[in-house]
Structure 1
């Protein structure tokens, strides 16, 4: 009987969950293009004003209320004071994005801590903590924001804190729901069996397993906070001059829509493009990180 030769076939290398999610995200063309657009907008807002020959504050008295033109690099036109609208839109976008990112960070930290603690401890602690959340939902948020801006001024940090004070409620509910499903898992029982305290279980075992959900929901929170800041600025309760934002520019352009429509259209288009890009990126992350689709 002739000897039998065995051929060893190399198994394909296994991919990490992060690499798999990244590959799935790249395959989503709409989400990937939206991510590229978002990166371009952020680079333009944070770097563009430094490279532009024009200034967001200085006036060009020879180009007052100039329509969009290639002359003097006024691509978005100028306002009634001769200030370049492109640079002001980019500077305003920087402020709006900073409010959105910082507000999401603050609200995310509060929401994750609150929801994870309530979901893991359960019982009366969970009942009391979530009733507090329900009571805060009943508070007219916009009225409180207007009241705080009126009483304490319109400083940048106050805008962020005011918006973040109510933006963590949805995050807390989402995190609590995920924590309720995680606390009965085997690795949590093993941590309890070896004497790990509740604080360490929450910080080392519960929260790391919620990163995917938190990241996806943060992409929903960012456009909401940016839009809220724009609404407050449109009402005249946002940041103060010389600082500007997309909401301030839209509010100023709405007053001069008939004579200088570009003052409204340019910042409004930038705001809409950013909100749509963040939304598409969030949808792509949700699909890429969903374990049911793997």
Structure 2
């Protein structure tokens, strides 16, 4: 049994490796687009039937227009950097939903929702582009599939421990320690890494699309003010702290402008 678990884990680790085109680093992802996209599309359609979608307004048109510009910029970057056809399976869709929650999200394959509650913080098209770039980046980097893969490995570790540890008291101690340790030491840092990666990729894409990357840090200052300072410690959160994001985005904005210059973009909205 020990050998079987080890062989299975090694096989999954090797077979799940895929290169992130934006970072050049290998990432764990054992869910191909052909498997995860149809499920995501169906879930998105179900969500839309259960929530009030806003159409035909200036805000709704803005969400779609910004999304299309960001997606086009992403495709432009991918093609120029040796990944033509990377987005062939993506089915971009942008919807504004009537909900006061300050949030937006993108499902695998490019299905995006903005809640009306985030629009006052965006303060217009460039702010929307900051959020849109971040959410699109999650989809481009397969973060959803990576989280699912990480969850699978977390479960394998738990099963392996329970199989290998015969003493009941020791097994109970392992389960308690493994649950907390794997969450704080692996899963939460993994999630924060994805958020940071999406911030950086999104900043680059929004700049190529012609939006001012300096606005990203300003948006997160408004997000921080809106939160009233209420947030868990960073090590206990799925997201970097507001201050961490503001500092990162401030440092990265000039680099995003330089990248955009490679595509002939020298002025920004």
TM > 0.5: no
Greater fraction of residues in strand: 2
Instruction: Name the larger-Rg structure.
Output: 1
Using CA pairs under 8 Å that are at least 6 residues apart, name the structure with larger relative contact order, 1 or 2.
Answer: 1
Greater fraction of residues in helix: 1
- Superposition TM-score, scaled by structure 2 size: 0.33
- Superposition TM-score, scaled by structure 1 size: 0.31
